[in-house]
Structure 1
Amino acid sequence: MSTLERVVHKEFEGMKIREFLKFHMGLSSRLIRGASIDKRIFVNDVAVKMNYVLKDNDKIVINLAKKESQNIEPEKIDLDIVYEDKDIIVINKRPNMVVHPTKRYQSGTLANGLLYYFKETGQDCIVRLVSRLDMDTSGLIIVAKNQYAHMELSKEMQENNVEKRYLAVVHGHLENSEGTIDLPIYRPEEEGTIRRVIDERGQRSITHYKVVERLKDADVVECLLETGRTHQIRVHLKALGHPIYGDTLYGYEDDNKYMKRQALHAYGLDFKSPRTKEELSLRANLPEDIQELLKALK
């Protein structure tokens, strides 16, 4: 059973448990309300109401497990699990996989595979996505196993405390071997379009880049995101005049000689564990199709 536990120090004696949970444990009002209704908040092994007044040395235990379901069919899919603990699981998503079911893709998604994995391993979890990737972008995705972990990591994402590193293979050689792209990204108001453009009406978007390998007529570029806009790396690299190989949306329409997707891989994540606050530094190897592209371009 996944729980949060605290022992009350004398300085908090006389405080109502609701205030303690919110202001000293940092829990959201939604989490507190739901756990209270389900009688999952205990003091000294007894379920309590939120007007309970704390005493010195009280032991608070919050059961994070709750009965939940998703309208997603579990499906046996091979998953590349890079890291897992009782709060999170990090998957190295393969190329050409949708993260969550849509009208067009009802099966074969990462969420289908995760629900099957949770069921097979006896974990009563639903899929709470902390991060996402485009269908054709491979790499690391964080999934929370409970409401607390999702709340903590979503807050870290909003405050840009999760370091996201990507590798991209681009056409040509960049003029500068490293730098920062600070250009606003805007979604045109055109029905049905998913394409983004550089436009002063857009949101400020910042990508730090560094060339890590020069090939014959291509560069391997590491990108560190400071903001997380849709298609940010693809739009920014196109703006420099160096679109990503295989990116027919932002590059060349017939650019599929070597790659059937954009050569973009989310290879690195650095963040703190939501529970222990331990620094996690996770890495994922390049997928086979990008490795083959690099061989062809050398």
Structure 2
Amino acid sequence: MPVHTPYIPPSDPLTFLHVDEWLIVADKPAGLLSVPGRGPEKADCARSRAEEAFPGALTVHRLDMATSGLLLFARTPDIQRALSMAFEQGQIEKAYLADVWMGPEEASGLIDLPLIADWPNRPRQKVDHDIGKPSQTRFEVIDRHAAASRVKLTPLTGRSHQLRVHMAELGHPILGDQLYAHDVARNMVRRLHLHASELGFRHPGTGDTIHFTAPCPFEVP
């Protein structure tokens, strides 16, 4: 079972890749909450740092604390609603890079496994073919190493912990995953090797199609 440790926000800054009058695109470091947690000790988060730099910044979506990468904020409630709706309707293109234990034999494929909260073991999620919500992830193997492979993961749905559970269910957990990886994969690296690397969408203020990338901050072990 994972060991619960005190929340110590990273000193790495929240890097802003794009700022305009409508929205903000940031690169979140691993270990930083997306939104405040319970208690004053968990007030430091991506949203609070965005608000400090740009007063009025509003959350559009979240990344797990252990996941690094692209995070989107709105600067007005109308833009927040428009972007949130775009996420719900699958109009936001997202891609992640992950290093996984060994790696799928197939070069690419679709994972289609329904997910639901594992309530007795929160915050864990689990596959449930009876009452789980539809959950789909596309994967593509980018590089293979002796004990790990780098994969590109494209979520077609937005369930909590979706990528982590799907890869673990395939028998290829994401390295460093404190919730779903076996001991060898969990202890092979010092952080969760999951990074939100690409984000593309139609700008709700200008109508332009825009695309952002964030370089992967870790190497395949």
Partner of 2:98: 168
Mean CA deviation greater in 271-280 or 96-105: 96-105
Determine if the alignment matches structure 1 residue 113 to structure 2 residue 49.
yes
Q: Where do 4+ consecutive residues of structure 1 move more than 6 Å?
A: none
Partner of 1:13: none
Distance, in Å, in 2 between the alignment partners of 1:185 and 1:261 is: 24
TM-score scaled by length of structure 1: 0.67
Partner of 2:144: 214
Q: 1:256 to 1:232 in 2, by over 3 A?
A: closer
- Whether the aligned pair in 2 keeps the contact of 1:171 and 1:244 (CA below 8 Å) is yes
- Whether the aligned pair in 2 keeps the contact of 1:177 and 1:210 (CA below 8 Å) is yes
- Give CA-to-partner distance per residue, 1:199-229, whole Å, 9 cap, x none: 1111000101100111122110001111000
Q: CA RMSD in A?
A: 1.7
The code of the aligned residue for 2:89 comes to E
Partner of 1:278: 208
The code of the aligned residue for 2:22 comes to D
Partner of 1:22: none
- Give CA-to-partner distance per residue, 1:243-267, whole Å, 9 cap, x none: 0101121012464544233210000
Aligned residue among 222, 239, 243 for 2:173 = 243
TM-score scaled by length of structure 2: 0.89
- Extract unaligned runs of 5+ from structure 2: 1-10
Larger Rg: 1
- Whether the aligned pair in 2 keeps the contact of 1:248 and 1:255 (CA below 8 Å) is no
1:106 deviates by 3.1
1:109 deviates by 1.2
Determine if the alignment matches structure 1 residue 88 to structure 2 residue 23.
yes
Aligned residue among 43, 57, 69 for 1:139 = 69
- Extract unaligned runs of 5+ from structure 1: 1-75, 119-124
Partner of 1:264: 194
1:132 deviates by 0.5
Q: 1:84 to 1:146 in 2, by over 3 A?
A: same
- Give CA-to-partner distance per residue, 1:27-74, whole Å, 9 cap, x none: xxxxxxxxxxxxxxxxxxxxxxxxxxxxxxxxxxxxxxxxxxxxxxxx
Q: 1:187 to 1:215 in 2, by over 3 A?
A: same
Distance, in Å, in 2 between the alignment partners of 1:160 and 1:221 is: 21
Mean CA deviation greater in 143-152 or 245-254: 245-254
Distance, in Å, in 2 between the alignment partners of 1:263 and 1:87 is: 31
Relative CO higher for 1 or 2, CA cutoff 8 Å, sep ≥ 6? 2
Distance, in Å, in 1 between the alignment partners of 2:24 and 2:99 is: 28
Distance, in Å, in 2 between the alignment partners of 1:229 and 1:257 is: 25
Distance, in Å, in 2 between the alignment partners of 1:228 and 1:168 is: 17
The code of the aligned residue for 1:129 comes to T
Number of equivalenced pairs: 209
Aligned residue among 113, 118, 122 for 1:193 = 122
- Give CA-to-partner distance per residue, 1:164-217, whole Å, 9 cap, x none: 100010001212110000110011232x61111111111000101100111122
Higher share in strand: 2
- Whether the aligned pair in 2 keeps the contact of 1:238 and 1:250 (CA below 8 Å) is yes
2:171 match: secondary structure? coil
1:197 match: secondary structure? strand
- Give CA-to-partner distance per residue, 1:140-175, whole Å, 9 cap, x none: 000000011111111111110001100010001212
